[in-house]
Amino acid sequence: MTRSAMLEVLKSDYIRTARAKGVRETAVIIKHALRNALAPVITVLGLQLGYLFGGIIVVESLFNYSGMGWLTYHALLNRDVPLIQASVFLIAAVFMLSNLIVDLIYKVLDPRIGFE
């Protein structure tokens, strides 16, 4: 995904303009191209982190690991509603926190984005 985003950004006019101005190739790649190509990659990474944390129930119950997923699985089997609620809340909190971190990284990568 990073490669396809970089190839798309390298075709842009501002990259051609930076090269025409005589900016070093490493500066063009890192400062201009990579910063703009990382936005979709970071979006996918943030979402995948949330999905990964949500999938621990299946992985830990499948491989018989002791952890939060195993605890949630046994809470589901025993119909322990408060524990199920706490597990779902924690998974949702991690998902929202990863989305917040992605939004903050957007602000670092693209200063045009403002918090309003």
pLDDT digits (tens, 9 = 90+) for 51-67: 888 788 888 888 988 88
Q: Is the pTM of this model over 0.95?
A: no
pLDDT digits (tens, 9 = 90+) for 13-50: 999 999 999 999 999 998 888 888 888 888 888 888 87
CA distances from 61 to 29, 48, 69, 73 (A): 44, 20, 7, 7
Tokens, residue 79: 């119909």
pLDDT digits (tens, 9 = 90+) for 64-110: 888 888 999 999 999 999 999 999 999 889 889 988 998 888 888 77
pLDDT given at position 80: 95
